[in-house]
Amino acid sequence: MTTTITQRSHLAAGIWRIADPKITLASASSLFLGLCAAADDGRIAWAWALITVLGIFFLEAAKNASGELFDFDSGADLAVRPEDRSPFSGGKRVLVDGLLTRAQTAGAALVFYLLGCVAGFLVVGVREPRVLLIGAIGVALAFFYHAPPLRLSYRGLGELAVALAYGPLIACGAYLVQRGTVSRTVVLASVPLGLLIAAFLWINEFPDCEADRSAGKRTLVVRLGRPAASKVFAAIVIGAFAVLAILPAFGAPFGIWGGFLGLPLAVKAAFRLRQEPEVTAQIIPAQEWTLLSFLLFAAGAGAGLLLS
């Protein structure tokens, strides 16, 4: 009886880690921005908004689960040293910590992918057929982020995939479901958000750098080395807010400058990372600030669109 209870406890803890609410904040931010842009142009169909949110959530959980299998097999998760563990990096560690078996992890990935696809096909079949292309690209990026033959994160393409998926893809998809088209405003607003979320991935690769290198996972941080990569992080952050600054010149409402709420924490994270690019304990606060910076960007820019 005790063994059964322990197994169920491990299963629940493992599924919770795969769902990982703090990491889903990236997709939630993009969804929020897309829905705010849609609300600025008309009424929101809340049932379809909910289905969109659930579909994205399921696909993200599926990506986490399938990624656990490939990162475990490559040795990347096993190679993370105790002193390099962080709440924001190192994988979900459901296999490393024995919370789930391989079969359970694969089963979770399959179920979450199926649920995400069901939500997507419901939208395509009843609401907006053109979402199919965006959904197909999203599923492909989610699975092949870790999986062969593309293995995007192992080839230094993971950062680009994240910027695309969590910026334009999700925000424009959410807008498309609501309005049946994609506006210039939502496309413009999604670019700096995608850059800031890519910056979050970038800084999360610092604690994993040595483990990734040993497993042949050639992220851009591994390729550049941490001192040089810390300069690129600062450039990404500066680039995101420089893009935000010029968006009204391309037709976005001035209210979008509400996204500058995220600037102070992003700058703070960049300075911390430049000072301590190789000490995980010193990087963790910068990871938190980077997370908060894109959340504040999405909240400020979204609110600005509504108020404009």
The amino acid sitting at 299 is A
pLDDT of residue 24: 84
pLDDT of residue 238: 97
Let me know if domain 2-307 sits in CATH 1.10.600: yes
Q: CA 250, CA 188: separation in Å to the nearest integer?
A: 8
pLDDT of residue 3: 56
Question: Using one digit for the tens of pLDDT, what is the confidence trace for 282-303?
Answer: 999 999 999 999 999 999 999 9
| DSSP code string of 154-174 | GTT-HHHHHHHIIIIIHHHHH
Q: Residues in the chain with pLDDT < 50? A: none
Q: Name the packing angle between helices 170-179 and 25-40 (round to 10°).
A: 40
pTM for this model (two decimals):
0.94
pLDDT of residue 308: 77
Q: CA 23, CA 57: separation in Å to the nearest integer?
A: 10
Q: CA 223, CA 146: separation in Å to the nearest integer?
A: 17
By C-alpha distance, which of 71, 56, 131, 79 is closest to 102? Answer: 71
With H, G, I as helix, E, B as strand and everything else as coil, classify residue 89.
strand
Q: Supply the Cα-derived Rg of the chain in whole angstroms.
A: 19
Q: CA 55, CA 238: separation in Å to the nearest integer?
A: 32
* 290 touches 238 (CB < 8 A): no
pLDDT of residue 5: 58
pLDDT of residue 22: 72
Question: Using one digit for the tens of pLDDT, what is the confidence trace for 86-105?
Answer: 988 888 899 999 999 999 99
Q: Where are the domains of the chain?
A: 2-307
